[in-house]
Amino acid sequence: MLQLICVLCVPNEEGTYYGLSTPLDINHYFSKAPESAATNASVKGLPNRPGPAPQIPRRGGPIQKRSIPHVKKVLAVASGKGGVGKSTVAVNLAFSLAMSQKAGSPRLRVGVLDLDIFGPSIPKLMGLESAEEPHLTKEGAIVPLKNHGLPCMSMGFLLPRPPGAESSADTPVVWRGLMVQKAVQQLLFDVDWREQDGDAGLDVLVIDMPPGTGDVPLTLGQLVNVDGAVIVSTPQDVALTDVRKGVAMFQKISVPIAGLLLNQAYFLCPSCSTPHNLFGSPDSFHAIAKRLDIDVLGELPVVSAVSASGDHGVPYVLGSDGTNASGDSGRVWKDVMSGVAHNVRQFWS
């Protein structure tokens, strides 16, 4: 009888297995695993971490949610499908939260965590594509990288680089569920978000989720106390169908939804300031929000400079006031994003 086993159960030449009973060693996996499981890139890998890896919850008892170390609030930015601008929204929302300030209170300390294991975008959007891999603390925790004053962590910082390449952008992650689950757990619980020992850490951690309703959102919802989720969509019906699935998933794993955000809602004519619905009317989006009894956080216009800014590793909200090539639409985009940050803070108050 043919017995089906996964690549993690195949013994290697050393007589051990590629499973994850030991701490996740990404370089070891990429250099030792068969070609069908990963690339053969030979590069300097992540330094070995002392101590055991986080344990996968076992069946037979309820899974206990816990807080991420040194993080007060967790905000997930998600989408039902890819290509709707979720990662761009996540990065710009993080900076908008960091720049927002209530009267009589200090600004929020904000960080960004990229949980899109198979397609990490944060290194590019944060201008850290060519950065060296993160260091470890003396306790073995991963130190996040920082740019533009905001700390961030991504699977993209840990992947091996092909020989002669400046970044790991072309290194694919070809992993099965167990490897992904272990990587997610270590990104959640083995990153030290403090500036230095004794600091309080972050007020808000913005998590850029992978699209869809797969293993990563389920793992996050089961293991972490998530304080809110922002679901990003575009006006097309195919995207709105997946919005309903995303809402149902978060409700099933008891994650509160802060609201829905419509991206690429309209194009604002630079000559006459007339809005044009290039990708369809937003009426269906608002109808879904009303039927699900979820707030609409805002509608972001189509602004070509937003994409160009992200390609250069500079979040759009950090740029000029939008009075140049983007015209009024640039100012509107930033105002809407600032309003989204305000609405998220109101959701928590």
The 3-class SS string of the chain reads CCCCCCHHHCECCCCCECCCCCCCCHHHHHHHCCCCCCCCCCCCCCCCCCCCCCCCCCCCCCCCCECCCCEEEEEEEEECCCCCCHHHHHHHHHHHHHHCCCCCCCCCCEEEEECCCCCCCHHHHCCCCCCCCCCECCCCCECCEEECCEEEEEHHHCCCCCCCCCCCCCCCCCCCHHHHHHHHHHHHHCECCCCCCCCCCEEEEEEECCCCCCHHHHHHHHHECCCEEEEEECCCHHHHHHHHHHHHHHHHCCCCEEEEEECCCCEECCCCCCEECCCCCCHHHHHHHHHHCCCEEEECCCCHHHHHHHHCCCCHHHCCCCCCCCHHHHHHHHHHHHHHHHHHHHHHC
Query: If you average pLDDT over residues 279-287, what whole number do you get?
Result: 91
Q: Which residue has the higher pLDDT, 68 or 7?
A: 68
Q: Which residues of 198-223 are buried (b: 16+ CB within 10 A; e: fewer)?
A: eeebbbbbbbbbbbbbebbbebbbeb
Output the pLDDT for position 3: 39
Q: Name the nearest CA neighbour of 68 among 259, 224, 198, 277.
A: 224
Residue 252: how many CA atoms within 13 Å on its side-chain side? 11
pLDDT band at 333; cut points 50, 70, 90: very high
Residue 150 within a domain: yes
Output the pLDDT for position 173: 83
Residue 249 within a domain: yes
How does strand 150-154 pair with strand 257-262? unpaired
Rounded to the nearest 5 degrees, what angle is found at the Cα of 160, between the Cα atoms of 145 and 23?
75
Please name the residues in contact with 151: beta carbons below 8 A apart, sequence gap of 6 or more: 111, 112, 144, 145, 193, 202
Residue 174 within a domain: yes
Residue type, 156: G
Output the pLDDT for position 1: 38
243 to each of 13, 133, 258, 261, 287, how far by Cα in Å? 46, 35, 14, 10, 12
Number of separate domains in the chain: 1
Query: If you average pLDDT over residues 275-291, what whole number do you get?
Result: 91
Percent of all residues in the chain with a pLDDT value above 90, rounded to a whole number:
56
Cα 9 from chain centre: 29
Output the pLDDT for position 260: 97
* Other Cβ atoms closer than 10 A to 64: 8
Token output for 279: 């990708």
pLDDT for residue 321 is more than 70:
no
The 10s digit of each residue's pLDDT in 3-17 is 333 434 444 444 443
Residue 124's domain is classified under what CATH number? 3.40.50.300
Domain that includes residue 186, residue range:
66-348
Identify any residues that bridge with 17 across adjacent strands, giving them in sequence order. 11
Identify any residues that bridge with 151 across adjacent strands, giving them in sequence order. 146
The 10s digit of each residue's pLDDT in 170-192 is 888 888 888 899 999 999 999 99
d(CA 230, CA 1): 48
Distance between first and last Cα of the chain? 60
Residue 44 within a domain: no
d(CA 182, CA 197): 26
Residue 234 within a domain: yes
